[in-house]
Amino acid sequence: MNLQTALLQGQTLLEKGGVPAPRLTAEVLLAHALGRDRAWIYAHSDEELKELWWIHYGRYLHERLNGKPTQYITGVQEFYGRDFRVAPDVLIPRPETEHLIEAALARPSHNILDVGAGSGAIAITLALETKWRVTATDISLPALEIAGANARALSAAVDFVACDLASALRPGFDLVVSNPPYVPSATRANIQREVRDFEPDLALYGGVDGMEVYRRLIPQAHTLLTHGGWLLLELGQAGSVRELLQDWCDVEIMCDLAGLPRVIAARKP
């Protein structure tokens, strides 16, 4: 069997299994099995599939058909033009979160705090794009290990702190950013299988109504920020979060490319 045939067989299996983007997924999994990039596959489409490659490819297809996200199989997710290591201990960075980065870059700061670092995608990206001082927190030690590894791999200067939200930090930040858990736990049964069964609950669910972390984080951010400092949050429920920011200034909701509320910005009076 050559690589082209293996690719077509993988695509067919994924199509029958109802996996989104079956062609692209087959390409990514085959490339991962070979330790090559996708372009190499097309340049060597007539090459015979080695037994070891077939073993790895078959296992990856099986895992994807059982719902495991492609990013957890390959261990990599691209974010803001950089590759980040990911594993089931951290949420897979979403393209939508790049709107949070853009909102932060529009508000020049000297001392930034990212609450809930996860893979470190937000904190590391801001550190590399700006050279500002960046601190990031997470309650999960395995997540901090992954974030630290990503920072070292990308040569990003980020200080990581293990704590619940920002409870271990002192005031003095002029920008606080966060993509907090905001999925209502009451809706768990309706969540996509790839998310529900594989991504960490700690990074997904924000209590029964999805607002628990916002209620705790916003007062903490108010204490930590300097006067006139900014708070930027990725949104789950725009109206409910806005109500929690009634005493803040210059509250603004930014939408993503689909027109959905994605980021809320607020300035400390």
pLDDT tens digit sequence for 71-89? 999 999 999 999 999 999 9
The arithmetic mean of pLDDT across residues 252-265, rounded, is: 94
Q: In the prediction, which pLDDT does 30 show?
A: 97
The arithmetic mean of pLDDT across residues 1-23, rounded, is: 96
Structural tokens at position 163: 């704590």
Q: In the prediction, which pLDDT does 204 show?
A: 95
Q: In the prediction, which pLDDT does 85 show?
A: 98
Q: Rounded distance, CA 185 to CA 81, Å?
A: 32
> pLDDT per residue over 139-161, tens digit each?
999 999 999 999 999 999 999 99
pTM (predicted TM-score): 0.94
Residue with tokens 């895992």: 63
Confidence of residue 237 (pLDDT cuts 50, 70, 90): confident
The arithmetic mean of pLDDT across residues 202-225, rounded, is: 96
The arithmetic mean of pLDDT across residues 246-265, rounded, is: 94
Contacts by residues 243-248 (CB-CB < 8 Å, ≥ 24 positions apart): 244/211, 244/214, 244/215, 244/218, 245/218, 248/222
Ordered domains of the chain (ranges, CATH):
3-66 (1.10.8.10), 88-267 (3.40.50.150)
Report DSSP letters for the chain, one per residue.
-BHHHHHHHHHHHHHHTT-SSHHHHHHHHHHHHHTS-HHHHHHTTTSB--HHHHHHHHHHHHHHHTT--HHHHHTEEEETTEEEE--TTSPPPPGGGHHHHHHHHTS--SEEEEES-TTSHHHHHHHHHH--EEEEEES-HHHHHHHHHHHHHTT--EEEEESSTTTT--S-EEEEEE----B-GGGGGGS-HHHHTTS-HHHHB-STTS-HHHHHHHHHHHHHEEEEEEEEEE-S-HHHHHHTTTTSEEEEEEE-TTS-EEEEEEE--
Average pLDDT of the chain to the nearest whole number: 96
> By percentage, how much of the chain surpasses pLDDT 70?
100
Confidence of residue 117 (pLDDT cuts 50, 70, 90): very high
Q: In the prediction, which pLDDT does 236 show?
A: 84
- With 90 as the cut, is the pLDDT of residue 168 above it? yes
- With 90 as the cut, is the pLDDT of residue 239 above it? no
The arithmetic mean of pLDDT across residues 93-112, rounded, is: 96
The sign of the dihedral angle between the CA atoms of 218, 110, 170, 91 is positive
Q: Rounded distance, CA 102 to CA 9, Å?
A: 40
